Amino acid sequence: MVPGMAEMATARRRARAGWLLSAPALLLLLVGAAGPLLVVLVFSFLTKGGYGGVTLPLSGAAWFGVFLERDIFDGTVSAADAHLVIFWRSAWLSVVTTLLTFVLGLPTAWFIATRPERSRGLWLFLITIPFWTNLLIRTFAIMEVIRNEGLLNTALTGLGLIDRPIQILFTDWATLIGMTYVYLPLMVLPLYAAIDRFDFRLLEAGYDLYASRLALLRKVILPIVRPGIVAGSILVFIPALGSYVVPRVLGGGKNMMIGNFIELQFGQARNWPLGAALSMLLLLVVTAALLVYVRVSAREGRDG
């Protein structure tokens, strides 16, 4: 056999062996991940059942109802204002949560990265402690802080700064505070990983060239730690967009986000096709965010 053909045959055998070894994992992913998503996709094109569930025939009414609604009396079509308000609330709360976690997470990660090496593990341990506690318990802990008789209002009243409690609970601000607290570690850890590789001699060079601190932040620090910023933003934005527990507990169920709205369709409203369409819409948004992250990461890799 020609040496080149023998090498090709060996490569093919290795490729087949690799596929056979990975077949169980691929099958598990197909059945456990792609299968349920396919079911949800099919549900979104079926007709709403009388008491929940779905029935034939196939219909695009659920996707139509995501953004539009038809008047039951004259049949006129208009924008689904309630849906759009929920989409907008979900988007801006997720974006603001990402910005707040970045503003709080960058100095925190910088502080940890500049500590002596023997003490960094302790600081990282303190950052990860919240992950040891159930999300629902952490959300109730925030409720005890911001409710009318909570720690915050009690402290402000005791200091004489306010005459009556500030109504924070069951508002968008409560949801924002809760999500910022819950997802802050997801921003700190990627930022720390990026800053830990930072060459601090670049700052000394910048100071030698009479650069201001703001100029160093904009032109040296942020560009170098940008991969950590992008990774942290994705890790915060995606779960914040689909958050259910925090807006349900701190928002009181009145100021819904898209995760609560999806649960409502599968529960009380019994409109499974609309819930499935909303779920697929959320999946598309998350996929778009992940594609942005992959594209930015690939560009960073090409740029070194």
pLDDT, tens only, 129-157: 888 889 999 999 999 999 999 999 999 99
By the 8 A CB rule, do 273 and 46 touch? Answer: yes
Q: For the residues of 223-285, what is the DSSP string, one character each? A: HHTHHHHHHHHHHHHHHHHT--HHHHHHSTTTS--HHHHHHHHHTTS--HHHHHHHHHHHHHH
Mean pLDDT over 153-173 rounds to 90
- Identify which has the larger pLDDT, 3 or 58: 58
* The residue to which tokens 């933003």 are assigned: 233
Percent of the chain with pLDDT over 70: 97
The answer to whether residue 298 scores a pLDDT higher than 80 is no
Residue 303, pLDDT score = 59
Mean pLDDT computed over every residue of the chain:
88
Domains of the chain plus CATH, in order, are: 1-43 (no CATH), 81-303 (1.10.3720.10)
241-261 burial code (b ≥16 CB/10 A, e <16): bbbbbbbbbbbeeebbbbbbb
Instruction: Based on DSSP, count helices (H) and strands (E) in the chain, helices before strands.
Output: 15, 4
Q: pTM for this structure? A: 0.86
What is the percentage of the chain residues whose pLDDT exceeds 90?
46
> What pLDDT, on the 0 to 100 scale, is given for residue 203?
86
- For residues 40 and 279, the answer to whether their CB atoms sit within 8 Å is yes
Which pLDDT score is estimated for 4?
Answer: 61
Q: Prior bond to 57 cis, omega within 30? A: yes
Confidence of residue 301 (pLDDT cuts 50, 70, 90): low
Using the predicted structure, report yes or no on whether residue 289 has a pLDDT greater than 90.
no
pLDDT(217) > 80: yes
1 pLDDT more than 60? no
**Mean pLDDT, residues 100-117 taken together:** 93
Cross-strand partners of 176: none
Residues 6+ apart with CB under 8 A from 123: 111, 112, 115
Q: What is the mean pLDDT of residues 154-175?
A: 90
The count of other CB atoms within 10 Å of the CB of residue 57 is 7
